[in-house]
A and B are shown apart, each in its own frame.
Chain A
């Protein structure tokens, strides 16, 4: 039985490069990996928003969003916060080591459908990981979209993910604006100080022909949604991506449901109009 017939058998992927996005007890480490099997490397296809089960044999697996866009090349990027048993083991991997990868799982952001629109991403903390592929995808296909605006914040400068990339985005021509924030004043910080929902009001984006995608801690999402409504966004213009504990990734093991929706199959990407009907989605 090959991996094709058995969705539970993972592929091996070699770690090409790693670096820390943030430091400390809950450090975030980014991995760039390539599949060791040439055939898998060539046939693998994913779209922004999808996830993969990654892990270490002997320890286990975790569902992690793929934080690279297919437009970047034949590799995958994962940004992993050190939280539990599996992520602890992943953090010990260095270039040359291997991790297990299976997937891709879930639906994707409907970037085809969004062509011709203005794209606005609103992220907080590690929540930028699933939004990053949107930014990269839209940058690579900027002629198909009217505009790209990035709003991103974290508690402190040490909690900001993709710091250098986001600084660079401020200079790059495809992105019309990139706004960064931290919650509390720090020496040398020249950008916004305050919470992401407040920064959103400050930026004051027009809802006209715009799609807003948000991901971050539940409390941030709650207030971002409220503020988007204040700015005049319709529910249908707002998307988010959810995460829940998962084991199988293919709708069998049962645990990731939010009401009738399986995050692994019906999601992780949801339109707010759908999600609003599901009280458990915001639990």
Chain B
């Protein structure tokens, strides 16, 4: 473990040092939102205004569309896309790194997913602790914290005129080594960082006691609650696309002339076509069944397989829902009514 300090005056040389060593992904403003994009050198690379990214950094390890293999139509040979680059994600929120840890288990369950794991193994994550939690944050209800290090390689804490950086993994130490010239050794800033994290924990306003939810979801399968909470749903899929633990994908062939590729892309259990059989039969025919599946997958099915809730409390599904469907309202009703 190494502890370093980065003076904000040295920010650009730090960023440049990271970008020289690896492909750097960084929260970039795109209209009203932030999303992670490769650092191009000419963006305003400060983290001062950034609160959280509307699109989670899962896109770095599980791209929205990803080529699986290429082929020429009519041929039998397939070829793999280029090898993935070594990457570093700067400024991921701790909840998003915890989410990667959750998704990792799915992509290693019984059989390894080579695309995801290659990306994941080649990606280092520098997390930025949350000094000011967002309005819908509830990470502390799910064993998280504004300064959680789970899934992170380096934790970074904003101390005003400087950042405190602490490596969590060997990979993290190597990353800090790459940017050594921009960093100073820490001297007591660690405890200041702890104070800030503790203070931030106290600022989280929303919460849920998850005790018993798994069992209630099983018992209350047919409850009228599901009709009621899904009635307003438009089926837009924002809650799942923007969820850092949602990882479901579709696989499609794309052909242009004779150039073919098989690719996978984010999909959503909130879409009707997701489960639609060719016969027209749909085992989850309405938004009621789909909403129940979304909540049950995170708070029951995943728990049964991996002994952990597949939600990190980032609050994006609440913030991004156009009709104000609130997972915490649903979960409290599950607790009270089922």
Q: Which residues of A lie under 8 Å from residue B301 when comparing CB positions?
A: 257, 259-260
Segment of A54-62, A141-149, A165-173, A199-207 engaged in the interface with chain B: A54-62
Q: Is B275 a contact of A255 with CB atoms below 8 Å?
A: yes
Given known contacts A8-B68, A283-B289, A254 and B248 CB-to-CB distance under 8 angstroms? yes
Q: Is B278 a contact of A84 with CB atoms below 8 Å?
A: yes
Q: Is B251 a contact of A253 with CB atoms below 8 Å?
A: yes
Given known contacts A8-B69, A280-B283, A283-B284, A252 and B249 CB-to-CB distance under 8 angstroms? yes
Q: Contact mask B288-305 → A, CB, 8 Å, 1/0?
A: 010001001100110011
- Name which residue of chain B comes closest to A56, CB basis: B253
Q: Contact check: which of B106, B115, B249, B300 meets A247 at CB < 8 Å?
A: B249
A220 at the interface (CB under 8 A from B): no
Q: Is A265 a contact of B110 with CB atoms below 8 Å?
A: yes
* A235-262 CB contacts (< 8 Å) to partner B: 243-245, 247-248, 250-255, 257-260
Q: Contact mask A1-18 → B, CB, 8 Å, 1/0?
A: 100011111101000000
Q: Is A218 a contact of B252 with CB atoms below 8 Å?
A: no
- Name which residue of chain A comes closest to B71, CB basis: A57
Q: Is B253 a contact of A260 with CB atoms below 8 Å?
A: no
Q: Contact check: which of B68, B114, B255, B283 meets A283 at CB < 8 Å?
A: B283
Q: Is A255 a contact of B269 with CB atoms below 8 Å?
A: yes
Q: Which residues of A lie under 8 Å from residue B73 when comparing CB positions?
A: 57-58
Q: Which residues of A lie under 8 Å from residue B305 when comparing CB positions?
A: 260
Q: Is B278 a contact of A87 with CB atoms below 8 Å?
A: yes
Q: Contact mask B249-276 → A, CB, 8 Å, 1/0?
A: 1111101000010101001010000111
Q: Is B249 a contact of A5 with CB atoms below 8 Å?
A: no
Q: Which residues of A lie under 8 Å from residue B115 when comparing CB positions?
A: 8
- Name which residue of chain A comes closest to B271, CB basis: A255
A36 at the interface (CB under 8 A from B): yes
A83 at the interface (CB under 8 A from B): yes
* A249-283 CB contacts (< 8 Å) to partner B: 250-255, 257-260, 265, 279-280, 283
Once bound together, how far apart are the Cα atoms of A61 and B296, in whole Å? Answer: 28
Once bound together, how far apart are the Cα atoms of A187 and B180, in whole Å? Answer: 88
Q: Is B269 a contact of A252 with CB atoms below 8 Å?
A: no
Q: Is A252 a contact of B283 with CB atoms below 8 Å?
A: no
Q: Is B276 a contact of A245 with CB atoms below 8 Å?
A: yes
Q: Is B248 a contact of A57 with CB atoms below 8 Å?
A: no
Given known contacts A57-B73, A98-B76, A251 and B109 CB-to-CB distance under 8 angstroms? yes
- Name which residue of chain B comes closest to A57, CB basis: B71
Q: Which residues of A lie under 8 Å from residue B113 when comparing CB positions?
A: 7, 250, 252
- Name which residue of chain B comes closest to A61, CB basis: B251
Q: Is A252 a contact of B247 with CB atoms below 8 Å?
A: yes
Q: Which residues of A lie under 8 Å from residue B69 when comparing CB positions?
A: 8-9
- Name which residue of chain B comes closest to A248, CB basis: B251
Question: How many interface contacts (CB-CB < 8 Å) are there between A and B?
Answer: 111
- Name which residue of chain B comes closest to A85, CB basis: B278
Chain B, interface residues (CB within 8 Å), range: 35 or more
Q: Which residues of B lie under 8 Å from residue A253 when comparing CB positions?
A: 248-251, 264, 267
Q: Which residues of B lie under 8 Å from residue A84 when comparing CB positions?
A: 278
Q: Is A59 a contact of B278 with CB atoms below 8 Å?
A: no
Q: Contact mask B153-185 → A, CB, 8 Å, 1/0?
A: 000000000000000000000000000000000
Q: Is A258 a contact of B253 with CB atoms below 8 Å?
A: no
* B219-250 CB contacts (< 8 Å) to partner A: 221-222, 247-250
Q: Is B68 a contact of A254 with CB atoms below 8 Å?
A: no
Once bound together, how far apart are the Cα atoms of A265 and B305, in whole Å? Answer: 12
Q: Is A1 a contact of B253 with CB atoms below 8 Å?
A: no
Once bound together, how far apart are the Cα atoms of A107 and B262, in whole Å? Answer: 26
Q: Is A252 a contact of B106 with CB atoms below 8 Å?
A: yes
Q: Is A255 a contact of B114 with CB atoms below 8 Å?
A: no
B9 at the interface (CB under 8 A from A): no
Q: Which residues of A lie under 8 Å from residue B64 when comparing CB positions?
A: none
CB distance from B241 to the nearest CB of A (A): 13
B191 at the interface (CB under 8 A from A): no
CB distance from A102 to the nearest CB of B (A): 11
Q: Is A12 a contact of B107 with CB atoms below 8 Å?
A: no
Q: Is A257 a contact of B111 with CB atoms below 8 Å?
A: no
- Name which residue of chain B comes closest to A14, CB basis: B76
Most B CB within 10 A of own CB, among A247, A252, A259: A252
Most B CB within 10 A of own CB, among A8, A254, A265, A279: A254
Q: Which residues of B lie under 8 Å from residue A260 when comparing CB positions?
A: 296, 300-301, 304-305
Once bound together, how far apart are the Cα atoms of A274 and B245, in whole Å? Answer: 28
- Name which residue of chain A comes closest to B301, CB basis: A260
Q: Contact check: which of A60, A83, A251 meets B106 at CB < 8 Å?
A: A251
Once bound together, how far apart are the Cα atoms of A280 and B293, in whole Å? Answer: 10
Q: Which residues of A lie under 8 Å from residue B109 when comparing CB positions?
A: 251-252
B78 at the interface (CB under 8 A from A): yes
Q: Which residues of B lie under 8 Å from residue A279 when comparing CB positions?
A: 221-222
Q: Contact mask B104-143 → A, CB, 8 Å, 1/0?
A: 0011011101110000000000000000000000000000
- Name which residue of chain A comes closest to B289, CB basis: A283
Q: Which residues of B lie under 8 Å from residue A87 when comparing CB positions?
A: 278
Q: Which residues of A lie under 8 Å from residue B284 when comparing CB positions?
A: 280, 283
23 contacts between A and B (CB under 8 A): A1-B80, A6-B114, A7-B113, A7-B114, A8-B68, A8-B262, A57-B78, A57-B262, A58-B255, A60-B253, A98-B76, A244-B275, A245-B275, A245-B277, A247-B267, A248-B249, A251-B106, A252-B247, A255-B274, A260-B296, A260-B304, A280-B283, A283-B289
6 other A-B residue contacts (CB within 8 Å) besides A1-B80, A245-B276 = A245-B277, A247-B249, A251-B109, A251-B110, A260-B301, A283-B283
